[in-house]
Amino acid sequence: MKHLLKAKVNDEHEFEFNQDQIESLDVQETSSGLYHLLVNDKSVSSELMESDFLNRTYTIKINSNLYKVEISNELDVLIKDMGLSLSANQVINEVKAPMPGVILEVAVEEGDEVKEGDNLLVLEAMKMENSILAPRDATIKTVHVNKGGTVSKNEVLIEMD
């Protein structure tokens, strides 16, 4: 089994999926934001109405019904359980390691311009590869890690302006 994902729909229904289940879905994008799905041999059309990639929240329209979907991966659940969730009002200038691990990839350099949600680096922790994303639009000030390096929990990985 690969990575576990959790989905909460309309703040009341919770579902768990592993990556293999998601990859086996019969979904086709018919045009930008419009999708066709086969579910239990029935044809379903859906539309992505709103998307907040960084917070992993989406509003999906299916048969004239709107559904608010929040997606969490194993790292999101662990971060929340550790009490490391961040306030939306904070300006984040440092990206810190949420847990100890090994840096598998560094996708940015000093001076790079990044947008909220851009991949900054990949951290392997607890046998999982975790993409660390930019929390806001910024310029990379300093990169404190290198590919193959190890990091401790709360260690500063990247500073941003």
80-130 tens-digit pLDDT: 767 665 545 567 899 999 899 999 999 999 999 999 889 999 999 888 898
Cα distance between residue 128 and residue 19, in whole Å: 12
* pLDDT for 1: 45
Q: Is 126 exposed, middle or buried (0-12, 13-18, 19+ CB in 10 A)?
A: exposed
How much is the pLDDT for 2? 57
Q: What SS3 class is residue 75?
A: helix
Q: What are the structural domain ranges in the chain?
A: 4-73, 87-160
Which helix (H) or strand (E) segment holds residue 23: the answer is helix 19-23
CATH value of 87-160 in 3.40.50.2300, 3.30.1490.20, 2.40.50.100, 3.40.50.300? 2.40.50.100
Model confidence, pTM: 0.47
